[in-house]
Amino acid sequence: MKKIGLEIHCQLTKLESKLFCKCKADYRSLPTNSNTCPICIGLPGSLPLLNRKAVEKAAMISLALECKIPERISFFRKNYFYPDLPKNFQITQYNAYGPTSIGYEGKIGIEDKEIRIRRIQLEEDPGRLIYEGSSEKTLITLIDYNRAGAPLVEIVTEPDFESPRQVRIFLNVLADLVENIGVADPYLEGALRVDGNISTGSGNRVEIKNVGSFRDIEKALHFEITRQQSLLDRGIPIQAETRHWDEARKITISSRAKEEEEDYRYLPEADIPVVMIDKNIIVEIQKQMPESIIAKRDRYIKKYGMPVQVANVLASDKFYSDLFEKAHSEINAKEVANIITTDLMGFADTREKKLELKISATHISDLANAIINNGITRNSGKIALQEMIKTGKTLSDVTLGLDLGHVSDTNYLEQIINEVFKEEEKAVIEARQNADTVNYLVGKVMQKTKGKADPTITIEIIRKKLSN
Ligand SMILES: [Zn+2]
């Protein structure tokens, strides 16, 4: 019996400022140690001031994960000594005397399983340690405090996962969810970080830290299951400990005996008073929450008759569902969804590639309309799309430039069809007896015209010739 639980750190990357000061929440790309002030580096006499927007965003995550939100929230000091922590304590939340963290007792469904959320807490990110030097002797550790105090939400699950695969699915669902509600960009480096804890059989709990990506957490858990099982098989007890994931060697390494909660000496943060959460504010936030991924998916299926798979893929991706919303009309919705999910998503599947796309909603709706009105074939449409992505040119410019326009010249098409009839005598006889086999001849015409023949006119001419 395996039990896996997760602690996910999600940065609130859409905020302007840090959790307790006016320094920028977006510390990336700033010169080292330039994004600091007396508050976030903990100089004596400085006082933290809670960022109201951070509480609202954290409440949005709590609502999206169906958590309860307490009437009052409070903050604690988690004491530990580490160079990335300038104050020697981290301001976080702690449910020692009843629930006072921004969310508790929530849940999230993945496939046919429900994962319970134990709590959601708001806390500050520590600074960043940068290791340089190639060998142990030359190794130096540099510290960048630009990240210290950045707003972070920690999501703690119950140990409900039974396999590393479930963990990966859950993390993908969670990443889509925080992106959809507009609190974080989960694809920014370090924006979503995961620690896993795992116990096998009656063995002790082992924590895995320092895992860089979703794919690696799955690998790290697999490794850990095998390691623990082989220890148990040999009658060796499993130590409660914290292990680090070694990305290069793809193994977990023991780093220290696991700290217990009491080791942190949690103290109430006296510099931040208890914050009352007005019920009306929660009602307001609930009203402003964007449509959930599940509701969006159901709308796509019901309103536009999209296949479940297409609706699922489209609704889960905020970037592409936003594009769909802007590009579609009542008439071309299915075609727009088709272009986005079958062609566009294949061309641009990473954050970087999405940002490089030179197209707007107009490009997509023009293309969908052209396909519906037989102005361009699907095949040529695909080529046109690739060109529009790279150049940002309009559909008509691209079709002209690449000669992708429709062949609807009847004389020319008749000539091609005559050729096909000569070459495919057997198929012609068959089509005369069974009208359903006509598509084979249409396909041959498409081959000869490189997919540019107007399908409606082509079928018309073929039918006429067959009935002669
Ligand atoms: Zn600051």
The pair phi, psi for residue 126, each rounded to 5°, is -75, 175
CA 101 / ligand 1 centre spacing (Å): 23
Helix, strand or coil, per DSSP, at residue 244: strand
For residue 258, is pLDDT > 70?
Answer: no
For residue 257, is pLDDT > 80?
Answer: no
At 259 the pLDDT is 67
Identify the residue with better confidence: 258 or 71.
71
At 267 the pLDDT is 93
At 75 the pLDDT is 97
Residue of 209, 193, 219 lying closest to 241 (CA atoms): 209
Q: 196: pLDDT confidence band, cut at 50, 70 and 90? A: very high
CA 315 / ligand 1 centre spacing (Å): 37
CA 365 / ligand 1 centre spacing (Å): 45
Whole-structure pTM value: 0.82
Give 164's contacts (C-beta < 8 A, 6+ positions apart): 4, 217, 218, 219, 221, 222, 225
At 19 the pLDDT is 98
Give 44's contacts (C-beta < 8 A, 6+ positions apart): none
Give 283's contacts (C-beta < 8 A, 6+ positions apart): none
Give 389's contacts (C-beta < 8 A, 6+ positions apart): 344, 347, 348, 357, 358, 359
Question: For residues 31 and 282, what is the distance between their CA atoms, to the nearest angstrom?
Answer: 38
Question: For residues 176 and 332, what is the distance between their CA atoms, to the nearest angstrom?
Answer: 26
Q: Is residue 415 within a helix (H) or strand (E), and if so which, with residue range? A: helix 410-423
- Please state the rounded mean pLDDT for residues 282-311: 94
Over residues 106-127, the pLDDT tens digits come to 999 988 899 999 999 999 999 9
CA 88 / ligand 1 centre spacing (Å): 16
CA 143 / ligand 1 centre spacing (Å): 16
CA 149 / ligand 1 centre spacing (Å): 7
For residue 58, is pLDDT > 80?
Answer: yes
CA 360 / ligand 1 centre spacing (Å): 38
Percent residues over pLDDT 90 in the chain: 62
At 264 the pLDDT is 87
In angstroms, the first-to-last Cα distance of the chain is 73
CA 152 / ligand 1 centre spacing (Å): 15
CA 126 / ligand 1 centre spacing (Å): 12
Q: Which two tokens stand for residue 344?
A: 């566009």
Mapping DSSP onto H, E and C, the string for 295-317 reads HHHHHHHHHHCCCHHHHHHHHHC
Q: 31: pLDDT confidence band, cut at 50, 70 and 90? A: very high
Residue position matching structure tokens 């006499």 = 45
Q: How is residue 289 annotated by DSSP?
A: P
Residue of 423, 428, 427, 387 lying closest to 404 (CA atoms): 387
CA 40 / ligand 1 centre spacing (Å): 4
For residue 451, is pLDDT > 80?
Answer: no
Helix, strand or coil, per DSSP, at residue 258: coil
Q: Count CA atoms within 13 Å of residue 181 on its CB side.
A: 24
Question: For residues 33 and 29, what is the distance between their CA atoms, to the nearest angstrom?
Answer: 11
CA 184 / ligand 1 centre spacing (Å): 20
CA 133 / ligand 1 centre spacing (Å): 29
| Residue ranges of E strands in 192-318 | 192-200, 206-211, 241-246, 251-257, 267-268, 275-276
CA 433 / ligand 1 centre spacing (Å): 81
Q: Which two tokens stand for residue 106?
A: 């929530």
Q: How is residue 68 annotated by DSSP?
A: B
Class of domain 410-467: mainly alpha
The pair phi, psi for residue 159, each rounded to 5°, is -75, 65
Question: For residues 436 and 399, what is the distance between their CA atoms, to the nearest angstrom?
Answer: 32
Residue of 215, 220, 230, 224 lying closest to 250 (CA atoms): 220
Residue of 11, 18, 78 lying closest to 48 (CA atoms): 18
Q: Which sequence spans correspond to the domains of the chain?
A: 2-283, 291-402, 410-467
Over residues 332-391, the pLDDT tens digits come to 999 999 999 999 998 888 878 888 889 999 999 999 998 888 778 888 889 899 999 999
Give the sign of the dihedral formed by CA 430, CA 433, CA 438, CA 441: positive
Question: For residues 326 and 337, what is the distance between their CA atoms, to the nearest angstrom?
Answer: 12
Helix, strand or coil, per DSSP, at residue 125: coil
At 464 the pLDDT is 87
Q: How far is CA 149 from the centre of its chain?
A: 24
For residue 283, is pLDDT > 90?
Answer: yes
- Please state the rounded mean pLDDT for residues 138-159: 95
Q: 449: pLDDT confidence band, cut at 50, 70 and 90? A: confident
- Please state the rounded mean pLDDT for residues 320-331: 94
Cβ 12 vs Cβ 57: under 8 Å: yes
CA 180 / ligand 1 centre spacing (Å): 28
